[in-house]
């Protein structure tokens, strides 16, 4: 375990060194991510500026929701997105070979080898939006509430990771899975804008159980604003557990079907 942590830390340091080798991309990412966030915020201001309540959620809750989604997205971008997004290409062109022949968990290495510090400002901006929502709602922040919210955000970041890995494990079995990237992008965009509480019937089953993008920012928001039910909490924890266990099993199953590529 200590060795794995030391290795992850070294990977992160190496990545920073590598990124700094290209000065433009190092500073460029700060600028690009900041701009993306501002555009997103402007979109929300236009859409939600005229209404006070959506699906029973107040304006403050909506702001917490937007900030939370952005926070989870920021963590995703910093920690694993750029590593995980490359997995299908590495499966297709056989670059995965090198990972499989080295000690340590190949998925762990793929996950942490492309950390992106450029998204750190996104976390601060997201934090500011959440704080704004909290002040509008008049929520009294206590240490247990803060810890609970932080824990839930981290769990939902793990769930986001699970979904990304599951979708990017499919290329072990099929020739091309480009449409999966599109599907994921569309699902995320939709759930970035709409809180899960709005979904009913089929869509609720889809976004709460099958493709649980609907709970990712909704559940931490409910927890912070005091709207969380006991069954909702149990459901969220169960979904994270089931998807995490499935992710690691599916990845191992995929490895058994890895065909590499001719050289």
Partner 1 sequence: MNIIQTQNLTKIYRRFEKEPGLMGSVKSLFKRKYSEKVAVNSFDLTVEAGELVGLIGPNGAGKTTLVKMLTGIIAPTSGGVSVLGHYPNKLENKFKMQYAVVMGQKSQLFFELTPSDTFRLFKELYAIPDDVYKRNVDYFVSLFDVSEFLNVQVRTLSLGERMKMELIAALLHNPGVLFLDEPTIGLDAAAQRQMREFLREVNEKNGTTIILTSHYMEDVKKLCSRSVVINGGKKIYDGGTEELFKKYEQFEGEDIGLVVERIYAAKDGGGE
> What are the residues whose beta carbons fall under 8 Å from the beta carbon of 77, sequence distance 6 or more?
33, 116, 118, 119, 122
Residue 1 within binding range of partner 1, rule CB under 8 A: no
Q: Give the three-state DSSP class for 58.
A: strand
Positions in 237-256 near partner 1 (CB under 8 A): 255-256
Q: Which stretch binds partner 1 (CB under 8 A): 46-54, 56-64, 101-109, 194-202?
A: 101-109
CB of 201 to partner 1, least distance (A): 32
Nearer to partner 1, 179 or 231 (CB): 179
Burial (CB < 10 A; 0-12, 13-18, 19+), residue 216, is buried
* Whether 164 contacts 108, CB under 8 Å: no
Least distance CB 108 / partner 1 (angstroms): 11
Does residue number 27 form part of the binding site for partner 1 (CB under 8 A)? no
The count of C-alpha atoms lying within 13 angstroms of the C-alpha of 190, restricted to the half-sphere facing its C-beta, is 17
**Residues 74/119, Cβ–Cβ less than 8 Å:** yes
Q: Which of 24, 39, 101, 142 binds partner 1 (CB under 8 A)?
A: 101
Under the criterion CB under 8 A, does residue 104 sit at the interface with partner 1?
yes
Q: Is 50 in the site for partner 1 (CB under 8 A)?
A: no
Instruction: From 105, 114, 53, 41, select the one nearest 79 (Cα to Cα).
Output: 114
Chain positions contacting partner 1, by CB under 8 A: 3, 6-7, 10-11, 14, 17-18, 21-22, 94-95, 97-98, 100-104, 106, 175, 255-260, 262-263
């Amino acid at each position: 375990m200590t060795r794995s942590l030391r290795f992850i830390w070294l990977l992160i340091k190496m990545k920073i060194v590598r990124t700094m080798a290209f000065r433009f991309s190092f500073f460029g990412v700060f600028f690009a991510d900041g701009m993306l966030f501002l555009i997103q915020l402007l979109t929300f201001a236009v859409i939600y500026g005229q209404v006070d309540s959506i699906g029973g959620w107040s304006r403050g809750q909506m702001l917490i929701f937007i900030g939370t989604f952005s926070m989870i997205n920021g963590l995703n971008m910093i920690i694993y997105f750029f590593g995980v997004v490359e997995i299908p290409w590495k499966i297709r062109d056989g670059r995965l070979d090198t990972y499989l022949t080295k000690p340590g968990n190949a998925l762990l290495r793929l996950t942490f080898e492309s950390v992106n510090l450029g998204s750190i400002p996104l976390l601060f901006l997201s934090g500011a939006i959440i704080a704004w929502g909290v002040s509008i709602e008049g929520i009294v922040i206590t240490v247990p509430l803060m810890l609970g919210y932080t824990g839930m955000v981290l769990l939902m970041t793990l769930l986001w990771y699970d979904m990304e890995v599951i979708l990017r494990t499919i290329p072990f079995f099929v020739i091309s899975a480009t449409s999966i990237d599109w599907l994921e992008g569309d699902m995320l965009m939709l759930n970035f804008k709409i809180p899960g509480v709005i979904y009913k019937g089929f869509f609720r089953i889809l976004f709460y159980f099958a493709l649980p993008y609907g709970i990712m920012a909704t559940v931490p928001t409910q927890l912070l604003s005091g709207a969380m039910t006991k069954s909702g909490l149990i459901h969220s924890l169960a979904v994270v557990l089931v998807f995490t266990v499935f992710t690691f099993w599916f990845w191992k199953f995929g490895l058994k079907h890895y065909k590499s590529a001719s050289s």
